[in-house]
Structure 1
Amino acid sequence: MQTSHTASPTQFYTWQNYRCAYEISQPNNSISEVPLLLIHPIGVGLSRQFWQRFCGEWHTKGYRNPIYNPDLLGCGESDMPHVAYNPKDWANQLHYFLQTVIKKPAIAVVQGALLPVALELVQKEANLITGLILAGPPAWAVITKKAPKLQQKFLWNLLDSPFGNAFYRYARTPNFLRSFSTRQLFASENTVDAEWLNTLVKGAENIANRYAVFSFLSGFWRQDYSSLIASIKQPTLVVVGETASSISQEGKQETPDERLADYLAYLPQGRGIKLPGRNVLPYESTTEFVTAIAPFINEFS
């Protein structure tokens, strides 16, 4: 069953004097459905474009939920100030977005290591988040270990320099992006396609995107989030790839089953599922991802 829908052209709102971009993918008869708020990953050239395959597949399958797909500050078509971002900053941005643009409770779908942003958002405004979907969350050893502040600051200062500038220019080349994606993100080299690489190359054209990337690499998101995870009252679906891996040393030994079990042991209303693929399931295994999360989302209708 197909549902006709329209993806809006890029729209903008102002948050703390910054111009922030988003788009809405909305079927024509979606008024009563719970909206989805997508939280894209941070990385070289990454932005809300990460979710385009998912949005297309979701509506092609006939689901009518309106999808709100914002660019986080420092990414995509949003402003890119020269600041060190932390998860609370992006959570504050999304909190404002929920209050002023979506204006009703939504299900947050968060990719990978942006999980801390969703956790901070729930802390800030539990009433506007009705459920959570964690797509390829970080290894448990990573999400529950605080990085030393001095280390974070040292890494930021190292990257926010001519060295970092040169590194970013190298990191946005197709060869580097293909190599990194094959080594760290995708289960199969064949799925690292031209669409993926072209999107990243285009997204990294503006060199100011490096500040969001450097903030992420500096580990400002590395805290012990176990108590926040344990405090989530909302139903939460954890989706892990069958070949999920960890970029960080702490999570190298963990199996996908162990990762799932650790999250479910802490989440009061958690449930979990494994899918073919590795660390970017909404992109690499789009059809399977949509099929897996649809029953969960439909429970909120």
Structure 2
Amino acid sequence: MLLESPTQTLFYTWKTYRCAYQAYPGDESKIPLVLIHPIGVGLSGNFWGRFCQEWYQGGNSNPIYNPDLLGCGNSDMPRVTYTPQDWAEQLLFFIKTVVKKPVILVTQGALFPVALKLVQLVQKQPSGETQWIEKLVLSGPPGWKIMTREGSPRQNKLRWNLLFDTPLGTAFYRYARSRKFLKSFSIKQLFENPNSVDQNWLDRLEKGAANLETRYAVFAFLAGFWREDYEQAIANIQQPTLVVIGQNTSNISREGLKETPDERLAAYLNALPNGKGVKINGRNVLPYETTAEFVQAIAPFIREG
């Protein structure tokens, strides 16, 4: 199949917000993919550009929907403490009103909780409602200890009010979006090969962080509003789920420092009722750093009936 190109950036309204997405046309008889991008300085749906190209160059034909979460990319950026529940509600509305058919979720890193909340929303629908989630693909989900540790709403609010939502927080964000910081952080925390932190990656992040309003989603994430014990929620996922772990995956948070890639993968597979797992080359941003291998790893799972 020839490389598909997205339409121009498209928009829909959720609640009172203008939200953006890109759509890659494909074989309408195939289950569409909905991509959930990571949260970070300069990140949005732009994270998935290489993946989308490689998906079609690899001969796959599923349509792809690549939304910008509220607070990111070309979507509106209100000054709020974003939670996985907020983004899950946005995505369920997007799937129901824009995609209009069941999808396969492909989520990156610590945005797995958004997919979890989305699965829970679908599970709470009245019987007879469309089951909108067919399968899940988890790229580099967080360490098991991180995902099963209770959060502290009080501490989250304190971090937000006393640090992030202040002039000091704004000053930090101005520094964090500098090319020097972005390169250093990417090498230390995200990529296996320092040479993979290329001009394309840094240009995307710089452009994505040019608007200071992008800081609210990043700060809500850093403050910890996504943190809670998700163990039972993971155990309740009935959909087939593929966990993809990098051979050199690492933890940004301290809780999971002693966890090996094999231990992380085993923990997820032990908890998921219908889970499969695979390890591939790379570290923490597999769809970008080892794109072709990532596509090859997930394509058979997506094609399965």
Query: Normalised by the shorter chain, which TM-score bucket?
Result: over 0.9
**Superposed, which structure 2 residues align to 1:151-170 within 5 Å?**
151-157=155-161, 158-170=163-175
SS at 2:86 equivalent? helix
1:179-207, CA deviations, whole angstroms, 9 ceiling, x for partnerless residues?
00000000110100000000000000000
Letter in 1 for 2:21: Y
Amino acid paired to 1:18: Y
Q: Deviations over 1:163-187 (max 9, x none)?
A: 0000000000000000000000001
Matching of residue 95 in structure 1 with residue 100 in structure 2: no
- Structure 1 outlier segments of 4+, above 4 Å: none
Letter in 2 for 1:238: V
Structure 1 residue corresponding to 2:78, chosen from 78, 81, 90: 81
CA distance in 2, matches of 1:68, 1:4: 15
Match of 2:247 among 226, 239, 242: 242
* Counterpart check, 1:61 vs 2:58: yes
Q: For residues 15-54 of structure 1, what are the structure 2 equivalents within 5 Å?
A: 15-27=14-26, 30-54=27-51
User: Structure 1 stretches of 5 or more lacking a match?
Assistant: none
**Within 5 A, what are the aligned runs for 1:80-159?**
80-126=77-123, 127-157=131-161, 158-159=163-164
Q: Is residue 3–residue 61 contact of structure 1 (8 Å, CA) maintained in 2? A: no
**Aligned runs of 1:171-186 on 2, under 5 Å?**
171-186=176-191
Q: CA deviation at 1:3?
A: 2.7
Q: Would the aligned equivalents of 1:3 and 1:64 in 2 still touch at CA under 8 Å? A: no
User: Where does residue 200 of structure 2 map in the other structure?
Assistant: 195
The alignment partner of 2:134 has SS state of strand
In 1: Cα distance, 2:183 partner to 2:40 partner: 13
* 1:4 shift after superposition: 4.8
| Corresponding residue pairs, total | 297
State the SS of the aligned residue for 1:288.
helix
**CA distance in 1 between partners of 2:66 and 2:255 (Å):** 31
The Cα shift of 1:149 comes to 1.5
Q: Which residue of 2 aligns with 1:226?
A: 231
TM-score (norm 2): 0.96
Matched, 1:14 2:18: no
Cα deviation digits, residues 109-161 of structure 1 (max 9, x gap) = 00000000000000111510000000000000001112212211111111100
**CA displacement at 1:277 relative to structure 2:** 0.4
Aligned Cα RMSD in Å? 0.7
Structure 2: tracts of 5 or more residues without a match: 124-130
Deviation digits for residues 22-77 of structure 1 (CA, Å, limit 9, x no counterpart): 000113xx110000000000000000000000000001111110000000000000
* Alpha-carbon separation, structure 1, partners of 2:175 and 2:285: 22
1:143 partner letter:
M
Bigger mean CA deviation after superposition, 63-72 or 152-161: 152-161
Question: Partner residue of 2:287?
Answer: 282
Letter of the 1:170 partner, please give it: Y
The letter for the 1-side match of 2:158 is F
Q: Is the 8 A contact 1:240 1:260 kept in 2?
A: yes
